[in-house]
Amino acid sequence: MNIKSNIWFENDKHGFFGKGRIELLEKIDEYGSISAAAKAMKMSYKAAWDAINEMNNLSESPIVKRESGGKGGGGTVLTEQGHTTIALYKQLEKMQKHFWDSINNITNDIESLESFSKKMTFRTSARNQLLGSVKNIDASKLGANITLNLSGGEDVEVFITRRSLDEMQITNATKLFILLKSSWIKISKSSKAEHNNNITCTLTNITTDSNNAEVDLLTSGGNSLTASLSLKSFQALSLQEGDTVWASFKPSNAILAL
């Protein structure tokens, strides 16, 4: 048994767009004409125009617009919002397919479904969760060094096993979350890297107790990090809020997640 479903967006309890309307937008983008798009979809011009008119009215900005003049005498084109709408739908459709593909083989097993549900909603004790895009993969038979570009522009290196690389199907440009426990991040007042990854940060907050210290950091690219260290180590660094520091971590300490 296979499970399938369709995505449908509503705006103020009104139908906004779904699979059919996305296909209509794609045909308009292809032909540059509402009538040609309607014909290709075997629907009337009025039905196509009514759908477009409703989408334009419900959208924050127009999705389709008419252009006059030019060599072909003008036509109908998608706006930037129209292209964004298609891209958003396609990405959600891809995510939906991945979800259903993941559970199609366990729909008759309640325990397996419960286990899968827990995995989908898991929480992690790792304080730091950074989003990065794969920039380079240097793989060997047993392992892989992966260079990722963070959303703030910094490059970091992570080491994972070759099996993890293959099972996660990681390729160039794959977007991944980098999970780091606060204790894995080392703080230095020198730019000399203790490990391969050395990120310039501003210290934004300090919290201490009788044994430990926790510092909040803002990277030069705008990402937030939290590092924990012993109170003795913290005092030896003589840190204050506003200081420029360098945060480093071992490539083998980071965990990657899709």
Where would I find the beta strands (DSSP E) of the chain? 8-11, 14-18, 64-68, 74-78, 128-139, 143-150, 155-161, 175-180, 186-188, 197-208, 212-219, 224-230, 244-249, 255-257
User: Considering the domain 8-101 in this protein, what is its CATH number?
Assistant: 1.10.10.10
Name the percent of the chain in helix, strand, coil, to the closest 5: 35, 35, 30
What's the whole-model pTM score? 0.57
Q: Report the C-alpha gap between 136 and 163 in whole angstroms.
A: 17
Higher per-residue confidence, 15 vs 162: 162
> 3.90.660.10, 2.60.40.150, 2.40.50.100, 3.20.20.80: which CATH number matches 128-179?
2.40.50.100
pLDDT at 61 over 50: yes
- Per-residue pLDDT of 203-229, as tens digits, reads 999 999 999 999 999 988 888 999 999
CB 9, CB 17: distance < 8 Å: yes
Query: What are the extents of the domains in the chain?
Result: 8-101, 128-179, 180-250
- Per-residue pLDDT of 74-131, as tens digits, reads 588 999 989 988 988 888 888 777 777 766 666 666 766 665 565 555 566 678 988 8
pLDDT number for residue 216: 95
User: Considering the domain 180-250 in this protein, what is its CATH number?
Assistant: 2.40.50.100
Q: Report the C-alpha gap between 131 and 177 in whole angstroms.
A: 5
Same topology, domains 128-179 and 180-250? Answer is: yes
- Per-residue pLDDT of 126-185, as tens digits, reads 789 888 899 999 999 999 999 999 877 889 999 999 999 998 989 998 888 899 999 999
CB 185, CB 128: distance < 8 Å: yes
